[in-house]
Structure 1
Amino acid sequence: MPPNAWSAQRKRQYVHIKDSLLERGRPEPVAEEIAARVVNKARAQHGESATASASSLNDMPSGRRGGQRSHQGPGGRTLLQLRDEARQRGVKGRSKMNKAQLEAALTR
């Protein structure tokens, strides 16, 4: 269910995205999570949220991105996402690695 802090526009956006995902065959819990993430990211990018992560503010809007980085296919995760995961896992030398090296280090 959408949080109370969302405006009427954001609630409509959430319902629209959720319904679209359900029509495409996504399970309801997954559709709700994806819709909430998209709406919260849009809120952060438009200055509507009290706090926002750097990746939300610096990334392109989800509507413009259009599934380019759905963690599937040749694109996969972004370099920043890989570096963040490498940092969390304590991979040494991660700041000097390129995308392919990070992916290889994280699959080990």
Structure 2
Amino acid sequence: MIMVKWSEKDARQYDHIKQSELQRGMSEADAEEVAARTVKKQRRHEGRTPNQTTQGTGNPNARLEERTVDELRNLAADLEISGRSKMNKAELIDAIRRQR
């Protein structure tokens, strides 16, 4: 695993998101995960990390429409939805909603 040093801004963003999630009643571990994923996604979006795609399923609090196609495909894989690689975003969202 490659360790990346976050900027001060990244660390402040992480702390802010974590505290917000804790205030909403999320567990410490889940709040840390959401905060880390959010900062990592922002770094990718800004081009500050080499990996432009995600291996995760996105923020669990985000609506499906707000997630990327890669995140939806990963979620569909977790739900064992067949044919997901050929689906577009709308089809993935429909399939995920039917499976849940």
- TM-score class normalised by the smaller sequence: 0.5 to 0.7
Q: How many angstroms apart in 2 are the aligned matches of 1:35 and 1:78?
A: 16
Name the counterpart of 2:82: 91
**Corresponding residue number in structure 1 for 2:34:** 34
CA distance in 2, matches of 1:44, 1:12: 17
The 5 Å alignment of 1:24-63 reads 24-53=24-53
Paired residues of 1:83 and 1:95 also in contact (CA < 8 A)? no
Deviation at 1:51, TM superposition (A): 1.4
Gaps of 5+ in 1: 57-61
State how far apart, in whole Å, the 2-side matches of 1:92 and 1:4 are: 35
Instruction: Say yes or no: does 1:13 pair with 2:13.
Output: yes
Looking at structure 2, the residues matched to 25 and 32 of structure 1 have their Cα atoms a distance apart, in angstroms, of: 13
Which gives a bigger RCO, structure 1 or 2 (Cα 8 Å, sep 6+)?
2
Give the Cα–Cα distance (whole angstroms) in 2 for the partners of residues 93 and 24 of structure 1: 33
Q: Structure 2 stretches of 5 or more lacking a match?
A: none
Identity %: 28
Name the TM-score, length of structure 2 as normaliser.
0.63
Whole-angstrom distance in 1 between the partners of 2:4 and 2:87: 43
Q: Which amino acid aligns with 2:86?
A: S
Deviations 1:63-107 (Å, cap 9, x if unpaired)? xxxx651x5xxx6x8683158625x8371486368343x244x46
Q: How large is the RMSD of aligned CA atoms in angstroms?
A: 3.8
